[in-house]
Amino acid sequence: MGYRQNLAEALRLAKETSDLSLTAFAEELEISRSQLLEFLKERGNPRVETILHIAAKLEIDPAALFESPFRSKPHPALELIFQGRTVLRLVAPQNRQAFLDHFTQMLTLLEVNNENRDS
């Protein structure tokens, strides 16, 4: 699986966990809607700068887009991060720090659990 498929999978996963329309999602990524559609269809030839930009917007390591395969590996932490970003929008501003603290603890526990499972 190449970087185009990985990019499409990352974008699909992020889109699935957002409440945004395709147009709004493209705007959040700061790319055109047509460019987003091309990437979702595993077409186009994104420049390295574009891949780095999208990875930064998705808050993922750009190297994950070049690993193979992207989705068939367990990515529970990545899914939690995308879902957490969506939920954070719903949390009152005065409670966001507490939410982020608890969310970070959940990710840490998940990482420890995965390390123990792999041992």
How far apart (Å, rounded) are the C-alpha atoms in residues 35 and 88? Answer: 27
What is the reported pTM? 0.60
Identify the CA nearest to 5 among candidates 64, 47, 49, 59: 64
Q: Which CATH number fits domain 3-118: 1.10.10.10, 1.10.3720.10, 1.10.260.40, 1.10.357.10?
A: 1.10.260.40
pLDDT in tens, the chain (119 residues): 578 888 888 898 888 888 889 999 999 999 999 999 999 999 988 888 999 999 889 888 888 777 765 554 445 666 667 677 777 778 888 988 888 888 888 777 777 666 666 55
Domain borders along the chain are 3-118
